[in-house]
Amino acid sequence: MSVVRRPLLAGLATLSFLVLAVPGHAAGVPAIAAQPTFADLADLADSAPLVIQARVARMTRVADERAPGRLPGTGRYYMEADTLALLTGTAPIGESLRYLVDLPLDARGKPADLRKREVLLFARSVPGRPGEIQLTSPDAQLLWSPELDAQTRGLLRQLVAPDAPAHITGVRELLYVPGTLAGQGETQIFLRTADGSAASITVRHQPGRPVSWGASFSELVADVTRPPAQDSLEWYRLACSLPNLPPDGANVSEGYDAKAQAQADYRTVVGELGVCERNRS
């Protein structure tokens, strides 16, 4: 990888704001962002063309008059970092990277010293400038740790898999059909996806057995013995996208009882998925 160094003014063209996520309070520096939840990390990974592991080499303060839009208590820094690994992405990047970030300042007007610290960067490339990147959001730099690295790599593998679940954009239809035996029946919940691919949830009732359910992101019927595991990509797509209630008119079940059962089954699914917790604003 080759690097062409440019003066500081060139780096200013790739303006990017960042709030550093730290696991508590760094010495004298307020923590202004909590550690990311799985949903936070999935949001970042899903929207970033590049995910890079790097080691910060230099930090240069940008004069406040040349750094409009900063949050109170932050300073803008021109960062130079050594590339350690490209976790995902095909755009060329250099052996060293340059980008702009806004960092929280302590009472002395100083940021946490990130020199020689490893970070994960969720970014996009700058056309024609392989050594420069632009972070995808204000908090798209995270302090590296073995645990975060393993979680990120696992998530990226799920995202690029051929059978990766599509983005859920809404509920298209739900239908409860009773079975031939008392207490038997099935609710099908058909979902809308961003790319138009198939996605559905099946909720099954069997006499004398607990209600079971599962999700499918293909034309195949869902395996009701395997609901999505917590903190998996399937779980994220559902828990962080499904509304608390289906939209008006989506319940096409026949009769009051069937409609009520379909509605109850939908609430069961949403309840068992749990809250999509996010610490990012």
Look up residue 159 and give its two tokens. Answer: 């995202």
Rounded Cα distance between 178 and 237, Å, is: 28
Look up residue 29 and give its two tokens. Answer: 């520096």
DSSP E strand stretches across the chain = 50-61, 74-88, 96-104, 118-126, 129-135, 141-143, 168-178, 185-193, 200-205, 212-216
In tens, the pLDDT along 151-205 reads 999 999 999 999 999 999 999 999 999 999 988 999 999 999 999 999 999 999 9
pTM for the model: 0.83
Q: Examine the pLDDT at 99 and tell me if it is beyond 90.
A: yes
Q: Which domains does the chain have, with CATH numbers?
A: 8-160 (2.40.50.120), 168-273 (no CATH)
Q: Are 229 and 235 in contact (CB under 8 A)?
A: yes
Q: Examine the pLDDT at 49 and tell me if it is beyond 90.
A: yes
SS3 call for 263: helix
DSSP string across 101-117: EEEE--TTS-----TT-
pLDDT of residue 104: 87
pLDDT of residue 62: 93
Rounded Cα distance between 6 and 9, Å, is: 8
Least confident residue range of 12-26, 123-137, 187-201, 258-272: 12-26
Look up residue 170 and give its two tokens. Answer: 């809404």
In tens, the pLDDT along 113-124 reads 999 999 999 999
Residues in the chain: 281
pLDDT of residue 25: 37
Confidence of residue 281 (pLDDT cuts 50, 70, 90): low
